[in-house]
């Protein structure tokens, strides 16, 4: 049975049983404890917590999930995926244990012809919580499972919670016996490889308190309602029904391995180490595509860092398998083809997903090239010192700082005839993971208590009147102070105000909240911020300036008109810049975030590489031409499918309802899904001036701009600056650029001349150093401090010149400098000195530690730098002592 069919049968089964089918939420939800959605129940948390009243009493979904805690183990075990689909059914007080057990058993064991999965009932085992005798009896009654196939397990295995204070309860798990060839007999307690968990039924009936771990928290008492939260692992059921050995060989994952075989020339199933790499590619490629589809971009922290690790592990694994050419595009294509029947957005958004993944591959291949050079330099130093082990610390720095994979370090070390201190590397990695885990745990906290808002969330959304008016009469529904409802608030107090209707825009979609006032007779309240609760209720954060506000008051809520005018200019300007970017750069320049406020906009977009000056000028020109055209701004509400068919652009990662608001500016020029406030015609935006363009992460660029009066003021300031320069240079304004360029060229020429004079003076001093040479045995040694400020090529050139003056004599030249608090040094030896066993690279170790430095090189020349100027005298003595030892004159 194909995976897409497994999904469909699950949903159909529960819809027929009276459940409402709910689409999968995005992998990115606004949850402080989660980087990614990792369970089917996450989008229903507000219902379980009692913060919102669900619109249905029973639901079913197939939720996209990502778990990356044990990313290093992917491919080693045969039953774990980083991306997986969790099919679930949920009851919000409608039914409990008996019905949950009945529904699960019916779907699993009914025949395929009757819409079930056709599992053999004799091969199914269940576990229950230690003292849950009720569940044990229900399994016997509803499913006919004998007592010997029902096992009781403790809190760590069969008691569920979110890991923080909130709902919890005992659970019951269903396992499938794969047979004696997969492990020991004796049920799940004996072997969880042979007995594979495929379904977990959580009887959510209690509330947990503080504590850590899976079994060290207090049960505070029962929840108001008994709920059901179950999850069936789609991938696990798929590999059982498809008769394959593991989750990597199912119909949606194996095609990626097949493509990797074609690209690498290797065969899956013939070598364990290679098989792990094949599985890593297959698993991570699917996860990466799904994350990019939901709006994640590669980066150096948070979600972006996880995605970057996944993509780089794919690239690394393909390289180690022998793939010679870039392969990311191939893997993305296969994943899109196999997964799009269930997730059509992968096909419609294919070009953007492909561009993000391939862009990261291109960047990482450059990283590998740079890392290889760093490795080679370090390996050369190891060998120059006569050692055979590449340090664990150096391997960790390559991995952690430069993103250079340890597998490549091991491979290259072997080619260079070196071992790697793997124990040291693993120890440092373990310390890093421990710190990361502790940091994540420190940030993890209970869900914010939003119960005080529940009444108003259930009442329905705040009526937003701000599209049509700036002043609205409203009723004060509630006042909230420090999470508690209060009847009144007096002058000088800060409080939250909930109104039945409001013209003030609540922050959303990159547009910051309106500022304004709430007034009545003898009352004046300053609105400082407006936020949404559950995307429905407007919460006005205010300061009472005059009088007293009381629950039940009739008031006037008013937007600051100047603020709103600037805010609409900024928001509409953002749409115009987005449209111009796509016109100039193409459809892959997709929005990755924005911020707009009065007079200013910031727009992030997916793009590889810095924009050229001509591109920036063209984007600004296209934007302002559209502004000057005075396009009408048209807004309308339609259903999501129709909006997308019309070409409206949606923000990736954003969850939209069935009905959406479309903002259209100039017909096809700009059409986006947007709930923000806008100008009525594009000319009202005023001039748009791009301030600059920069990088905010791999594959993400940012443009910033002023609009309206702020744009005018900026241009006026620039004009005044230009006029000042013209006056100082005594040329017309249009000649300033050429005159400045000429001055810069003259300055550069003068600097070069100065450098040449300085270098000549340095070289001229070579003779004085030759005169300072003293003989140690048969060797002439120059060990001196160079003039302050001499460094780099000048110091190297001076040392070479001094060495050259000794001709065929055995000679060693060591000069240490003092440049900006650093101690650059160069060591050179003549051929005759090398024949006596004196090598420049070896001499560094005799004085490097004394100046807090390190360096390396070859037998004839070595160089490096230190950080301790005070150690120069001791370092020079160290060189003299070492040369004496080597010549037998110590």
Q: Residue positions in the annotated binding site for Zn(2+)?
A: 571, 575, 674, 678
CA nearest neighbour of 250 among 292, 279, 212: 279
CA–CA separation, 702 and 704 (whole Å)? 7
Residue showing tokens 């990311």: 328
- Return the structure tokens found at 623: 């934007």
Angle between helices 302-321 and 350-384 (to 10 degrees): 70
Inter-residue long-range contacts of 690-697, CB under 8 Å, 24+ positions, other chains counted: 690/616, 690/619, 690/620, 693/610, 693/611, 693/616, 695/610, 696/604, 697/297, 697/298, 697/299, 697/300, 697/304
DSSP secondary structure letters along 277-316: HHHHHHHHHHHHHHHHHTT----SSHHHHHHHHHHHHHHH
User: Do 591 and 603 contact (CB within 8 A), yes or no?
Assistant: yes
Name the helix (H) or strand (E) containing 517: strand 516-520
What secondary structure letter does DSSP report for 536?
T
Q: What CA–CA distances, in Å, run from 168 to 162, 297, 448?
A: 7, 34, 17
**DSSP one-letter code for 508:** B
Annotated binding-site members: 571, 575, 674, 678
101 CA to centre of own chain: 39
45: tokens are 């948390």
Nearest alpha-carbon partner for 87 in 59, 51, 127? 59
Strand 58-66, strand 83-92: pairing: antiparallel
Work out the number of other CB atoms within 10 angstroms of the CB of residue 814: 27
Q: Is 300 exposed, middle or buried (0-12, 13-18, 19+ CB in 10 A)?
A: exposed
Give the residue from 600, 631, 603 showing the smallest Cα distance to 619.
603
Residues 6+ away with beta carbon under 8 Å from 388: 382, 417, 418, 419
Strand 20-21 relative to strand 58-66: parallel, antiparallel, unpaired? parallel
């Amino acid at each position: 049975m194909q995976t897409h069919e497994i999904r469909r049968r699950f949903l159909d089964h529960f819809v027929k049983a009276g459940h409402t089918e709910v689409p999968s939420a995005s992998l990115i939800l606004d949850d402080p404890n989660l980087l990614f959605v990792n369970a089917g129940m996450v989008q229903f948390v507000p219902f379980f917590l009692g913060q919102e009243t669900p619109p249905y009493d029973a639901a079913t979904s197939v939720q996209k999930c990502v778990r990356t805690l044990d990313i290093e183990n992917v491919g080693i075990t045969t039953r774990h995926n980083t991306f997986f689909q969790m099919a679930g059914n949920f009851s919000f007080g409608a039914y409990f244990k008996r019905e949950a057990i009945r529904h699960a058993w019916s779907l699993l064991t009914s025949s395929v012809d009757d819409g079930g999965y056709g599992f053999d009932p004799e091969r199914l085992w269940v576990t229950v919580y230690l003292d849950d005798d009720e569940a044990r009896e229900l399994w016997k009654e509803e499913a006919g499972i004998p007592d010997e196939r029902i096992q009781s397990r403790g809190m760590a295995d069969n008691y569920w919670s979110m890991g923080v204070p909130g709902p919890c309860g005992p659970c019951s798990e269903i396992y499938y016996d794969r047979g004696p060839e997969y492990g020991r007999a004796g049920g799940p307690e004996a072997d969880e490889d042979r007995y594979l968990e495929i379904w977990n039924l959580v009887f959510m009936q209690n509330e947990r308190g503080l504590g850590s771990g899976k079994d060290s928290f207090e049960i505070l008492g029962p929840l108001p309602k008994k709920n059901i939260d179950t999850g069936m692992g789609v991938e696990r059921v798929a590999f059982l029904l498809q008769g394959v050995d593991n989750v990597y060989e199912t119909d949606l994952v194996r095609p990626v391995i097949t493509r990797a075989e074609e690209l690498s020339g290797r065969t899956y199933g013939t070598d364990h180490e290679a098989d792990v790499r094949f599985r890593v590619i297959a698993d991570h490629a699917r996860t990466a595509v799904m994350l990019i589809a939901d709006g994640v971009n590669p980066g150096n922290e948070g979600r972006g860092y996880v995605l970057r690790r996944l993509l780089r592990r794919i690239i690394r694994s393909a390289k180690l398998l022998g793939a010679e050419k870039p392969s990311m595009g191939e893997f993305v294509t296969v994943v899109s083809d196999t997964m799009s029947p269930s997730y059509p957005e992968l096909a419609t958004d294919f070009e953007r997903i492909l561009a993000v993944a391939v862009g990261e591959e291109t960047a990482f291949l450059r990283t590998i090239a740079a890392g290889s050079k760093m490795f080679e330099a370090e390996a050369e130093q190891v060998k120059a010192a006569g050692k055979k082990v590449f340090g664990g610390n150096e391997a960790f720095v390559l991995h952690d700082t430069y993103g250079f994979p340890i597998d490549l370090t091991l491979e290259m070390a072997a080619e260079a005839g070196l071992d790697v201190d793997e124990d040291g590397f693993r120890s440092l990695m373990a310390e890093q993971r421990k710190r990361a885990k502790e940091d994540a745990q420190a940030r993890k906290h209970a869900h914010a208590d939003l119960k005080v808002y529940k009444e108003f969330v259930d009442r329905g959304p705040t009526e937003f009147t701000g599209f049509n008016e700036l002043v609205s009469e409203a009723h004060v529904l509630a006042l909230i102070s420090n999470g508690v409802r209060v009847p009144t608030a007096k002058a000088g107090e800060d409080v939250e105000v909930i109104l039945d209707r409001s013209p003030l825009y609540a922050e959303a979609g990159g547009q910051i909240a309106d500022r304004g006032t709430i007034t009545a007779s003898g009352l004046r309240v300053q609105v400082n911020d407006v936020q949404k609760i559950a995307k429905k209720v407007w919460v006005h954060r205010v300061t009472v300036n005059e009088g007293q506000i009381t629950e039940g008051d009739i008031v006037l809520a008013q937007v600051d008109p100047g603020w709103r005018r600037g805010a609409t200019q900024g928001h509409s300007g953002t749409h115009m810049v987005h449209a111009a970017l796509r016109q100039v750069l193409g459809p892959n320049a997709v929005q990755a975030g924005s911020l707009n406020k009065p007079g200013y906009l910031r727009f992030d977009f997916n793009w590889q590489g810095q924009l050229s000056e001509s591109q920036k000028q063209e984007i600004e020109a296209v934007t302002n031409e559209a502004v000057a055209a005075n396009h009408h701004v048209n807004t309308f509400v339609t259903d999501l499918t129709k909006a997308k068919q019309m070409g409206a652009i949606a923000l990736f990662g954003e969850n939209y309802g069935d009905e959406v608001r479309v903002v259209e500016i100039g017909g096809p020029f700009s059409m986006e899904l947007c709930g923000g406030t806008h100008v009525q015609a594009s000319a009202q935006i005023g001039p748009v001036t791009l301030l600059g363009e920069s990088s905010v992460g791999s594959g993400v660029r940012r443009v910033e701009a002023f609009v309206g009066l702020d744009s005018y003021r900026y241009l006026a300031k620039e004009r005044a600056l230009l006029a000042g320069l013209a006056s100082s240079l005594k040329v017309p304004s249009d000649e300033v650029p050429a005159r400045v360029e000429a001055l810069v060229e003259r300055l550069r020429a003068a600097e070069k001349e100065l450098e040449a004079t300085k270098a000549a003076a340095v070289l001229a001093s070579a003779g004085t150093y030759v005169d300072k040479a003293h003989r140690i045995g048969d060797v002439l040694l120059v060990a001196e401090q160079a003039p302050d400020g001499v460094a780099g090529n000048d110091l190297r050139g001076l040392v070479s010149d001094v060495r050259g003056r000794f001709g065929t004599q055995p000679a060693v030249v060591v000069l240490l400098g003092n440049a900006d608090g650093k101690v650059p040094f160069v060591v050179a030896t003549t051929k005759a000195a090398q024949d006596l066993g004196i090598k420049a690279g070896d001499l560094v170790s005799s004085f490097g530690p004394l100046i807090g430095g390190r360096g390396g090189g070859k037998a004839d020349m070595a160089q490096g730098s230190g950080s301790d100027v005070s150690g120069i005298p001791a370092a020079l003595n160290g060189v003299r002592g070492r040369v004496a030892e080597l010549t037998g004159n110590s």
